[in-house]
């Protein structure tokens, strides 16, 4: 088992650069399926998930090249053929839930698609009901057979669609299906995340007609065909937020560049309430904390609310703050799976349903813990910085799925950290 070993008692200080957003780049790669020819994506993070998505596209018939730009970013070139494949296999989809976003583009281009039910992080149930019902309203016939979602439509047609919840994944699939549908599609209660706006910007550059990007109502007028483009991926607000919370937790001083602070307005406001000095800088922001942070209450909500992906970092901040914090998770029913691991570091956390009460302690205690997902892994590493001794975060491959150059960035901020391999568990005769 792979692990990250971090030495505690460190104050994060220095500059760190953020590259393209994982949650945007993967969807932009899928959107390249909508146009025959060569699409180029810049500022894409060098992470495992991008490599998996590249293989998903290759098996659909695309030629995909990942060209290294530096230790954290790459250039992705996707050549989509006239005749795409129609099946996304389980062996890849189970490793990357985001690969479900090929459903909309393939259905729009080919009229027939087979996509395995997705896997991904263990953070709770994330059904496909809204994806399926929305596509059905656009004229698709959809069935589930042998672990696959199978959709057919000779030509999708525009429809009025209301989402029960502003789901990012459902919004993306319906949006990418609607751009080639016949007539007008309106998606109400659509997701408003910056990554949705980025996808709309790329689709518009390809020739799509979209109104309302960044609002709760998207209106899409279908076109006959799209053209490939070159597109620059927006900065990763979750990675940027991770460093922001790390600075506050460790009473440090960190400048984060490559991100629009507006993407993190509420999160940065919470850090200000906790006592941090938050200021804007060219192409980013600075977070400086002198003294122990104050406890703040946080509840996750769809954008522009507090991002669920930053909850583990918020939990870490609460664990070392002065006072008690109430943290409420409103998005994923399994997001608290990492709480037992953070408790191993000495955090005083009591959960009740989707609420957690965290009573802060001045110092945590290093221990071996396990990353249950991407963001939990990063949160545990940051908590380890606030602990006495050494913390070993096992299953650190999760972190590599979302944080390019993570260890190098930690070292650049003053952390002593290294990779290791955990001993194999002993076998027992039964």
From 65, 71, 89, 121, active-site residue: 121
| 349 marked as part of a ligand binding site | no
Taking each helix axis from N to C end, the angle separating 168-178 and 103-110, rounded to the nearest 10 degrees, works out to 20
DSSP assignment of 285-341:
EEEE--SPPBP--EEB-STTSB-GGGHHHHHHHHHTSBSEEEEE--S-TTGGGGHHH
| All residues at 6 or more sequence positions from 429 whose CB lies less than 8 Å from its CB, including other chains | none
| 27 marked as part of a ligand binding site | no
Distance from C-alpha of 229 to C-alpha of 80, rounded to nearest angstrom: 12
| 23 marked as part of a ligand binding site | yes
Map tokens 């940065």 to a residue: 268
Instruction: Name the helix (H) or strand (E) containing 241.
Output: helix 237-249
**Catalytic site includes residue 352:** no
Given a contact cutoff of 8 angstroms between Cβ atoms, the answer to whether 167 and 187 are in contact is no
| 97 marked as part of a ligand binding site | yes
Separate counts of helices (H) and strands (E) for the chain: 14, 26
Given a contact cutoff of 8 angstroms between Cβ atoms, the answer to whether 69 and 47 are in contact is no
Q: In DSSP terms, which residues pair with 326 in a beta bridge? A: 357
| All residues at 6 or more sequence positions from 278 whose CB lies less than 8 Å from its CB, including other chains | 244, 268, 269, 271, 272, 285, 286, 287
3-state helix, strand, coil in the chain (%, to 5): 35, 30, 35
Distances (CA, A) of 224 to 161, 205, 274, 406: 21, 15, 52, 43
Distance from C-alpha of 122 to C-alpha of 125, rounded to nearest angstrom: 8
| 309 marked as part of a ligand binding site | yes
CA dihedral 191→195→199→204, nearest 10 degrees, is 80
CA dihedral 209→213→215→219, nearest 10 degrees, is 10
Distance from C-alpha of 269 to C-alpha of 79, rounded to nearest angstrom: 42
CA dihedral 191→194→199→201, nearest 10 degrees, is 120
Distances (CA, A) of 277 to 4, 255, 272, 290: 30, 11, 6, 8
Query: Which residues does the annotation mark as catalytic?
Result: 121
Q: Which residues are annotated as a binding site?
A: 22-23, 97, 309, 331
Q: List, as residue ranges, the binding site for phosphoenolpyruvate.
A: 22-23
């Amino acid at each position: 088992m792979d692990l990250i070993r971090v030495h505690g008692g460190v104050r994060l200080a220095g500059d760190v650069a953020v590259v393209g957003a994982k949650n945007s780049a993967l969807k932009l790669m899928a959107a390249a399926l909508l146009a025959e020819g060569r699409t180029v994506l810049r500022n894409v993070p060098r992470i495992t998930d991008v490599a998996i998505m590249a293989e998903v596209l290759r098996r659909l018939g695309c030629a995909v090249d990942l060209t290294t730009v530096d230790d954290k970013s790459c250039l992705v070139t996707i050549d989509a053929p006239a005749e795409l494949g129609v099946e996304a296999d389980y062996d890849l989809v189970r490793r990357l839930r985001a690969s479900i976003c090929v459903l909309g583009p393939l259905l729009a281009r080919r009229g027939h698609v087979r996509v395995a039910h997705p896997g991904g992080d263990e953070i709770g149930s994330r059904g496909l009901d809204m994806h399926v019902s929305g596509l059905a309203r656009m004229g698709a016939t959809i069935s589930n057979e042998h672990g696959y979602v199978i959709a057919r439509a000779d030509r999708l047609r525009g429809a009025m669609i209301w989402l029960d919840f502003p789901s990012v994944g459902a919004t993306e699939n319906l949006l990418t299906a609607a751009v080639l549908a016949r007539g007008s599609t309106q998606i109400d209660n659509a997701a408003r995340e910056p990554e949705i706006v980025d996808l709309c910007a790329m689709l518009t550059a390809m020739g799509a007609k979209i109104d309302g990007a960044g609002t709760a109502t998207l209106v899409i007028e279908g076109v006959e065909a799209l053209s490939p483009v070159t597109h620059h991926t927006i900065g990763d607000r979750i990675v940027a937020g991770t460093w922001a919370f790390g600075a506050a937790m460790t009473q440090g001083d960190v400048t984060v560049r490559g991100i629009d602070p507006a993407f993190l307005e509420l999160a940065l406001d919470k850090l200000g309430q906790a006592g941090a000095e938050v200021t804007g800088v060219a192409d980013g922001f600075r977070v400086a904390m002198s003294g122990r942070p104050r406890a703040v209450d946080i509840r996750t909500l769809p954008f522009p609310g507090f991002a669920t992906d930053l909850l583990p970092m918020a939990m870490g901040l609460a664990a070392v703050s002065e006072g008690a914090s109430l943290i409420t998770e409103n998005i994923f029913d399994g997001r608290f799976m990492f709480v037992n691991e953070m408790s191993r570091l000495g955090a005083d956390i009591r959960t009740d349903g989707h609420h957690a009460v965290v009573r802060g302690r001045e110092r945590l205690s290093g221990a071996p813990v396990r990353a249950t997902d991407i963001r939990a892994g990063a949160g545990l590493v940051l908590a380890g910085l606030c602990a006495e001794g050494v913390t070993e975060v096992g299953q650190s491959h999760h972190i590599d799925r979302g944080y390019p150059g993570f260890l190098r960035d930690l070292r650049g901020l003053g952390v002593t950290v290294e990779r290791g391999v955990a001993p194999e568990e002993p076998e027992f005769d039964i």
